[in-house]
Amino acid sequence: MNLDEAIFGRRSVRKFTDRYVTDEEIRAMIEAARWAPSWANTQVWEFIVVRDRALMEKIAGTYVEKNPATRATLSASALIVACARDGVSGCYDGKDVTSIQKWYMFDLGMAVENLCLKAHAMGLGTVVAGYMDHQACKKILEVPAGYEVVAVLPVGEPLTPAKSGPPRKELSSFLHLDAFGKVF
Ligand SMILES: Cc1cc2nc3c(=O)[nH]c(=O)nc-3n(C[C@H](O)[C@H](O)[C@H](O)COP(=O)(O)O)c2cc1C
């Protein structure tokens, strides 16, 4: 699969077959995440793979009611929980060095997109689930202080071929030249 096919063909997948996603496939996805850029190469991401069905149900239980990713979470072959260490990315000596904080969110986002694209290139599907009670999920997975659970990624083989996906904003609505608001 070439880059354009990966970028433009990837969709959030919320319905899976019962095909087992192997540990090797999961490692390949994490390997793609591993090569994402990060602040000063700090690589503060942590990934927890969950296969235990009871644990998966508990994690789905931390989602807000009617989260569209709930069914995907319950029927996924595995969950990959994307976490990050706080206080390192964008920080020196534990202090923020820019007015923008929580750079780990940026780093993790890049890593997770790599992961999702790799899954797609392998014929697998993912969806990012972030609308949840993060503190409750952190507790369930015994994530220590200083680390945050950011998103859950259910992984599986898509039940149906990818559709065109929700529309995107027009380029002209967010692309600027020389200054914000000037037309490119
Ligand atoms: C940070 C983030 C959080 C998201 N949280 C959820 C979620 O909680 N539940 C869900 O069903 N989809 C969630 N999504 C998926 C988006 O709804 C989806 O990416 C968007 O609608 C575009 O569709 P596409 O991924 O098929 O292109 C999330 C995506 C991102 C990037």
Other beta carbons less than 10 A from residue 169's beta carbon = 8
In angstroms, what is the span from residue 152 Cα to ligand 1's centroid? 11
In angstroms, what is the span from residue 93 Cα to ligand 1's centroid? 34
Indicate whether residue 68 lines ligand 1 (CB < 6 A): yes
Reported as a single tens digit per residue, the pLDDT across 58-68 is 999 999 999 99
Indicate whether residue 108 lines ligand 1 (CB < 6 A): no
Write down the domain spans for the chain: 3-183
Among the residues of 42-172, which ranges form H helices? 53-60, 70-75, 104-121, 134-140
The answer to pTM > 0.85 is yes
Give the chain's residues under pLDDT 50.
none
Q: Which fold has domain 3-183?
A: NADH Oxidase (3.40.109)
In angstroms, what is the span from residue 94 Cα to ligand 1's centroid? 31
The reported pLDDT for the residue numbered 114 is: 98
Give dist(CA 38, CA 104) in Å, integer: 8
Reported as a single tens digit per residue, the pLDDT across 4-46 is 999 999 999 999 999 999 999 999 999 999 999 999 999 999 9
Name the residue of 127, 134, 150, 163 to mutate for ligand 1: max ligand atoms within 8 A of Cβ: 127
